[in-house]
C-alpha cells in the first residue's frame, strides 16, 4: 500500500487500548511485588511495561510537536494514539531494545515516527520535533525521581524502589543517548533540523553508515561509551537516585538468573 493510501485510511483516534493494557500491567506488577516468591518476575514486568510506556510517550512527543508544527499526517497515521504498534520497526523497535535492556540495562531508543519535514513551519519546528522525544524521557525521569522521594523506608529499599531506580536509569540513558549528535538519534535531528535542505541532503549518505558504526560500537565495544553511562549514573545521583539501588534493580529484573523468580538475600 502506498504512503498516500495509508494516510488516507485514517485510523480511529484517542488513546489506544494497547496503551491502556500496558498501564494495567504496570499497575498489577506493583501489586505482584508483594509476593516474595515471584517478586523478580514482577519487577521484570514492571520495568518492561514502564519502558514501553515511556517509549510511547517519547514517540508521542515527536508526533504531537510535529502536529503543532504543521504536519497533520502524524494524526492520520495514528501516532497520537500512544499505540506502540504504530511506532514499530521489527528490528530497531523490538529486537534491539530488548537485547540492550536485557544484557546491559540500557534504554535504547527503538521507536520510529515518520514526519513530513516539508510540512513543518521552518527549521525551529524541525529541531523541536527531534527535541520533543528526549524531553519526554526527561519528564519521565523527573517524575520517577519525585516518586522515589516520597518513600521513607527504614528496613532497606523495597522491590518497588529498586524497580523504579532501574527504570529511572533507563530514562537517563535514553535521554543522554538520544542527545548525542549521531545520525539516527535525536541529537543529530536537532542539529540537522536547523540546516537548509541542501545541507541535510548532503549528510544523508553519511548518516546510514554512521548509524551502523554506532550500533557496532554499542554491541562490540561498549566500553568506549563508558563516559556516557557514567554521566547517566551521575544524573541519577544528582536526582537522589542511589546507584546501588539501580544495580540491585537490574539484578531483580534478570529473573532468568533466578529459576523461581524469588529474592535471594
**Rounded Cα–Cα distance for residues 136 and 216 (Å):** 27
- C-beta separation of 186 from 134 below 8 A: yes
User: Which entry of 4, 59, 75, 197 is annotated as an active-site residue?
Assistant: 59
**Rounded Cα–Cα distance for residues 185 and 159 (Å):** 33
Question: Would you call 59 a catalytic residue per the annotation?
Answer: yes
Radius of gyration over alpha carbons of the chain, in Å?
A: 19
Element (DSSP H or E) covering residue 127: helix 123-149
As given in the structure block, the three cell numbers for residue 209 are: 553508515
As given in the structure block, the three cell numbers for residue 84 are: 506502540
Cα–Cα distances in Å, from 101 out to 105, 196, 202? 4, 36, 34
**Rounded Cα–Cα distance for residues 139 and 133 (Å):** 10
**Catalytic residue set:** 59
Amino acid at each position: 500500500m502506498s504512503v498516500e493510501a495509508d494516510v488516507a485510511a485514517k485510523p480511529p483516534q484517542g488513546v489506544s487500548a494497547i496503551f491502556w493494557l500496558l498501564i494495567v500491567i504496570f499497575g498489577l506488577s506493583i501489586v505482584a511485588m508483594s509476593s516474595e516468591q515471584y517478586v523478580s518476575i514482577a519487577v521484570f514486568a514492571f520495568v518492561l511495561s514502564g519502558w514501553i510506556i515511556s517509549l510511547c510517550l517519547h514517540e508521542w512527543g515527536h508526533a504531537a510537536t510535529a502536529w503543532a508544527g504543521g504536519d497533520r499526517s502524524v494524526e492520520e497515521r495514528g501516532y497520537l494514539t500512544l499505540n506502540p504498534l504504530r511506532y514499530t520497526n521489527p528490528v530497531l523497535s523490538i529486537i534491539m531494545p530488548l537485547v540492550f535492556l536485557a544484557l546491559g540495562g540500557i534504554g535504547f531508543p527503538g521507536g520510529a515516527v515518520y514526519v513530513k519535514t516539508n510540512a513543518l513551519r521552518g527549521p525551529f519546528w524541525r529541531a523541536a520535533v527531534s527535541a520533543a522525544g528526549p524531553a519526554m524521557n526527561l519528564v519521565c525521569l523527573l517524575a520517577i525521581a519525585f516518586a522515589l522521594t516520597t518513600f521513607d523506608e527504614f528496613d532497606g529499599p523495597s522491590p518497588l524502589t529498586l524497580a523504579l531506580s532501574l527504570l529511572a536509569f533507563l530514562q537517563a540513558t535514553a535521554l543522554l543517548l538520544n542527545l548525542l549528535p549521531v545520525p539516527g538519534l535525536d541529537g543529530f535531528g536537532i542539529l540537522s533540523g536547523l540546516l537548509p535542505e541542501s545541507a541535510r541532503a548532503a549528510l544523508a549518505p553519511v548518516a546510514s553508515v554512521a548509524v551502523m558504526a554506532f550500533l557496532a560500537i554499542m554491541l562490540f565495544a561498549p566500553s568506549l561509551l563508558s563516559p556516557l553511562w557514567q554521566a547517566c549514573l551521575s544524573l541519577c545521583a544528582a536526582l537522589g537516585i542511589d546507584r546501588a539501588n539501580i544495580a540491585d534493580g537490574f539484578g531483580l529484573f534478570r529473573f532468568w538468573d533466578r529459576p523461581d523468580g524469588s529474592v535471594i538475600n
